[in-house]
């Protein structure tokens, strides 16, 4: 067939589907030769083939399928075999869905479907595709429904995009919900309406339904801690004016009276005139972080306090020890006292400075005496102050005994005993009695002057145990008696 002849036949036109319809052997179908087609059929076929919009037809009892060039991408691999075939064969895989719709059209009722989902064969496999369909009955000259005229638009890409958006939104909401501490807002600055999610609403103490519908911005500032409000106002004003990223940490009063910290971050969108129109953002509940920071600050403060106090203690020991002319003796004494302090610290560090078992304090001070110091008493825990004080006092007593007392001779012994006693005063709490007894040493001579060791025992030990200390320089052995209490004002050095 030449071009000129083709142009003279029906349907006129030379694009692929015009030619395909013209060449098709319609005599083998219910429609018969083209020359026998009714004017109504020819008119519809001409309209269909001339349209850039995807269109198709089903004609006759067999619902013989015709379609235009724009419909080819929708048909996929069904083209070109679909032309002239029964609709039920063309759409065999979707016929159970399509048949009732098409039968409706044949009954005279148009059908419209948006984003209708069909499984169709494309690229060698069944794929889901979506279409907006409009099926309209086509009438013959007698006014009977002779076929179906369809207009179709594929919406697969839009449907998938919407699904992806919904999925993304769902993932976002799941992420936000998982944190349970992140709220989002969008402030229509021009209309002064803040819309926000439920988390944001609850965090700011505003009715969630009100925030879902949109509420004035001032409602969300009503529960801002008064000390933070002026600063926040300035920061918001700057963000609206400049369009620069906004970030602010402030406190919100909660309905139950508690206070929560939030970090709000957002960025205002400005119009061409530089005026803020929208201000979206997110708010994070950072109360836990703030509490952790506060706790850290307390710990740093406490650590600084302990360190400075410990330096003051060391300075006091140094100041009281390093007096006199024999610098080597003084230096050794200072070193030993420092070691005694360090050992007591080790014991306290093991219990986070809560307290120290008295057996550990005594063992830490007297461990190097080959069992010549016998310690006996009830198990009990001393607070940090008493533990340090006792450790230093026992160090002084041990050192003195090694130099002048029982531990200066092979047969000498020391007995340390302690017990809980009744103070007779309920407000004083448990009483405490500790005795140090030298025995088997050389005859004791009372010291001519009072040194740091004696002062430490008499004054520091007595003060820290809120009691009294007596030292008896008996000829047969030094006896030290502490009567005090086990509770009192706590203050860790």
Interface ranges with another protein (CB under 8 A): 301, 304-309, 311-317, 319-320, 385, 389, 392, 455-456, 459-460, 463-464, 489-491, 493
For residues 296 and 307, which CB has a smaller minimum distance to another protein in the complex? 307
- Token pair for 122: 């494309």
* Burial track 210-226 (b if 16+ CB lie within 10 A, e otherwise): ebeeebeeebbbebbee
For residues 163 and 300, which CB has a smaller minimum distance to another protein in the complex? 300
The least CB distance from residue 225 to another protein, in Å, is 21
For residues 45 and 461, which CB has a smaller minimum distance to another protein in the complex? 461
In what side-by-side order are the strands of the sheet with 413-421? 373-377, 413-421, 431-439, 477-485, 468-474
Whether 131 and 102 have beta carbons less than 8 Å apart is answered as no
The least CB distance from residue 393 to another protein, in Å, is 11
For residues 231 and 459, which CB has a smaller minimum distance to another protein in the complex? 459
The least CB distance from residue 468 to another protein, in Å, is 14
For residues 38 and 320, which CB has a smaller minimum distance to another protein in the complex? 320
For residues 307 and 376, which CB has a smaller minimum distance to another protein in the complex? 307
Biggest CA pair distance of the chain: 147
The least CB distance from residue 341 to another protein, in Å, is 10
Look-up of token digits 């803020």:
276
Q: 274 φ, ψ to 5°?
A: 80, 15
For residues 64 and 456, which CB has a smaller minimum distance to another protein in the complex? 456
For residues 119 and 455, which CB has a smaller minimum distance to another protein in the complex? 455
For residues 108 and 447, which CB has a smaller minimum distance to another protein in the complex? 447
The least CB distance from residue 312 to another protein, in Å, is 4
The least CB distance from residue 451 to another protein, in Å, is 12
- Token pair for 199: 């988390």
For residues 406 and 469, which CB has a smaller minimum distance to another protein in the complex? 469
The least CB distance from residue 310 to another protein, in Å, is 9
Please name every residue paired with 489 in a beta bridge, in sequence order, or none if there are none.
Answer: none
The least CB distance from residue 395 to another protein, in Å, is 13
For residues 29 and 399, which CB has a smaller minimum distance to another protein in the complex? 399
- Whole-angstrom Cα Rg for the chain: 49
The least CB distance from residue 392 to another protein, in Å, is 8
* Burial track 242-251 (b if 16+ CB lie within 10 A, e otherwise): ebeebebbbb
Whether 36 and 19 have beta carbons less than 8 Å apart is answered as no
The least CB distance from residue 443 to another protein, in Å, is 31
The least CB distance from residue 301 to another protein, in Å, is 7
Distance CA 449, CA 49 (A): 126
């Amino acid at each position: 067939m030449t071009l000129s002849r083709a142009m003279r036949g029906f349907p006129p036109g030379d694009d692929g589907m015009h030619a395909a319809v013209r060449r098709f052997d319609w005599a083998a179908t219910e429609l018969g030769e083209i020359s026998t087609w009714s004017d109504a059929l020819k008119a519809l076929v001409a309209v269909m083939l001339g349209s850039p919009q995807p269109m198709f037809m089903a004609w006759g009892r067999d619902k013989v399928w015709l379609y235009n060039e724009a419909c080819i991408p929708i048909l996929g691999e069904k083209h070109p075999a679909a032309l002239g075939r029964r609709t039920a064969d063309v759409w065999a895989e979707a016929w159970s869905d399509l048949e009732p719709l098409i039968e409706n059209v044949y009954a005279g009722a148009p059908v419209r479907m948006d984003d209708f989902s069909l499984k169709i064969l494309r690229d060698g496999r069944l794929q889901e595709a979506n279409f907006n369909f409009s099926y309209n009955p086509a009438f013959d000259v007698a006014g009977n429904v002779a076929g179906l005229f369809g207009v179709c638009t594929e919406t697969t890409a839009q449907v998938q995009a919407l699904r992806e958006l919904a999925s993304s939104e769902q993932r976002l909401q799941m992420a936000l919900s998982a944190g349970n501490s992140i709220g989002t807002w969008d402030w229509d600055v021009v209309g002064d309406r803040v819309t926000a999610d439920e988390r944001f609403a609850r965090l700011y103490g505003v009715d969630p339904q009100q925030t879902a519908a949109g509420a004035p911005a001032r409602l969300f500032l009503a529960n801002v801690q008064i000390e933070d409000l002026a600063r926040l106002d300035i920061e918001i004003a700057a963000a609206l004016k400049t369009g620069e990223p906004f970030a602010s940490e402030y406190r919100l009063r909660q309905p139950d009276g508690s206070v929560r910290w939030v970090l709000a971050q957002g960025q205002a969108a400005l119009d061409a005139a530089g005026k803020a129109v929208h201000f979206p953002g997110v708010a994070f509940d950072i109360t836990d972080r703030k509490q952790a920071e506060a706790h850290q600050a307390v710990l740093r403060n406490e650590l600084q306090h302990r360190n400075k106090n410990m330096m003051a203690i060391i300075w006091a020991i140094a100041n009281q020890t390093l007096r006199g002319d024999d610098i080597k003796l003084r230096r050794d004494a200072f070193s030993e006292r420092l070691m005694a302090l360090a050992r007591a610290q080790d014991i306290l560090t093991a219990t986070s400075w809560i307290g120290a078992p008295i057996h550990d304090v005594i063992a830490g001070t007297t461990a190097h005496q080959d069992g010549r110091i016998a310690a006996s008493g009830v198990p009990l825990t001393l607070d940090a102050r008493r533990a340090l004080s006792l450790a230093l006092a026992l160090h002084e007593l041990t050192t003195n005994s090694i130099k002048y007392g029982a531990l200066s001779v092979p047969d000498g012994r020391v007995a340390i005993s302690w017990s809980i006693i009744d103070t007779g005063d309920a407000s004083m709490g448990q009483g405490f009695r500790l005795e140090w007894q030298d025995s088997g040493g050389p005859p004791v001579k009372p010291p001519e002057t009072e040194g740091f060791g004696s002062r430490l025992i008499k004054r520091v030990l007595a003060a820290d145990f809120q009691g009294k200390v007596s030292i008896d320089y008996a000829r047969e052995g030094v006896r030290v008696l502490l009567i005090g209490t086990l509770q009192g004002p706590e203050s860790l050095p």
